[in-house]
Amino acid sequence: MERLQRSSLLRTARLPLLLLAVGTHPTAGQVVRGNLVDAVSGRPVPAGIVVLVDTSGVEQIRTLTDATGSFVVRARAPGVFRLRTLIVGFEGWESEAFSLARGQSVERQIALTFYRVELPELTVEAERTCIVRPEEGLAASALWNEVKKALAATRLSMERRKYRFRTRTSERQLDPYGVVRRDTMFTSPGYSSWPFASLPADRLSQLGFVQGAPDGPVFYGPDAEVLISDVFLDDHCFRVRLDDAQRGYVGLAFEPVSGRDVPEIEGVLWLDSASVVLRRLEWSYLNVSRWARAGDPGGFVEFAALPDGAWFIRRWMLRAPVAHVFVGRPDTLLYGVKVRESEVLDVLDRRGEPILRYSPPDSARQGSKAGY
């Protein structure tokens, strides 16, 4: 079984990586400090991913550049390493190998030339064939590489907590016929985070995305860690999806491999077809009880980036059926549906001043899984 390889568009550069200084700090570990700049304009590149890898390509650590393009990465032990840069929508770059002695600290300047990612030809066969861990050179592999970068940038941006967000959240309880029984809405400030709870990928693989609980089944959505895990890649196949209803976008569809009999998910990761930037994840549930299927369980997550390159979750929705269990009887009916949806209204700086405002979409309160 082939594994997803790193992009063939990864460029190994000789000139842009410049050693500026070398020092030894016995208690500081092995440290690489530097700046990432645009080779053409000389401007700093904020929110770029810088990865330190060893000679086997094993990742040691990754970080985001700050507003000045600066970064710091630390190796766990002395050795020979390379630096990689990952910019969403652009080709990757890799440095030549360099050594880090015990306690050594080096400074490096990376002048990066930007090349847009170009997708392989999107064929009918690419849409029909669902592949587990697609090989390098296939359109599905190119799309997956960009998905991984966007998810990594989102997670790292969340960890940095540079911005706060004022969000509006809606919680609705529907009856089995879709009539709203209860509807609450509130706004709140806070940092961006993955919007719903998930479980470790190996546990989801073993027990499924819907698991029993005393109060009824719990529907787990996929978080970034689950989506990029080896377990998820082994349990699902991928194919390119083009849809007339999603003009301007190209999808990377996923579904469980044959033989998966636990509750599963299938869905689509939608990317902008011009910039190859991830915009939306949507999914639905498979292998669930008939009563649960009647509640149309599923959800979506929409992604966005700020002008400085920081990524965040712009909007999300999770729709989960609620069971009506009869005491002493084996049958279960659909009692209702819980819909929780949230969207960012304002992006705030650390002082609480708004730097970006959004107008709520017309579909914000429909609770549907419709596309753009």
Residue found under tokens 């979409």: 361
The pLDDT of residue 8 is above 80: no
- Cα(320)–Cα(40) distance, integer angstroms: 50
The pLDDT of residue 24 is above 90: no
Residue 322 lies in a domain: yes
Stretch 238-252: mean pLDDT, rounded? 88
pLDDT one-digit tens code per residue, 90-127: 999 999 999 999 999 999 999 999 999 988 877 766 67
pLDDT one-digit tens code per residue, 120-159: 877 766 677 888 987 766 889 999 999 999 999 999 988 8
The pLDDT of residue 49 is above 70: yes
The torsion angles phi and psi of 199, rounded to 5 degrees, stand at -125, 165
Integer Rg of the chain from CA: 23
What pLDDT band is residue 365 in, cutting at 50, 70 and 90?
Answer: very low
Same domain, 245 and 198: yes
The torsion angles phi and psi of 131, rounded to 5 degrees, stand at -120, 135
Task: Indicate the average pLDDT of the chain.
Answer: 85
Same domain, 17 and 151: no
The pLDDT of residue 21 is above 70: no
Alpha helices (runs of H) in the chain, residue ranges in sequence order: 124-128, 139-160, 201-207, 224-227, 230-235, 290-293
What pLDDT band is residue 180 in, cutting at 50, 70 and 90?
Answer: very high
Same domain, 256 and 324: yes
Same domain, 161 and 305: yes
Q: How far is CA 282 from the centre of its chain?
A: 12
| The total number of structural domains that make up the chain | 2
Q: Domain ends where: 112, 138, 171?
A: 112
DSSP one-letter string for 106-163: EEEEEEEPP-B--PPP--HHHHH--BSSPPTTSHHHHHHHHHHHHHHHHHHHHHHT--
- Percent of the chain residues past pLDDT 70, beyond the cut: 85
pLDDT one-digit tens code per residue, 215-238: 778 899 999 999 999 999 999 999
Q: Could you tell me the CATH number of the domain that includes residue 65?
A: 2.60.40.1120
Domain hosting residue 241, numbered range: 124-357
71 in helix, strand or coil? strand
The pLDDT of residue 6 is above 90: no
Same domain, 347 and 199: yes
Q: Which residues pair with 70 in a beta bridge?
A: 35
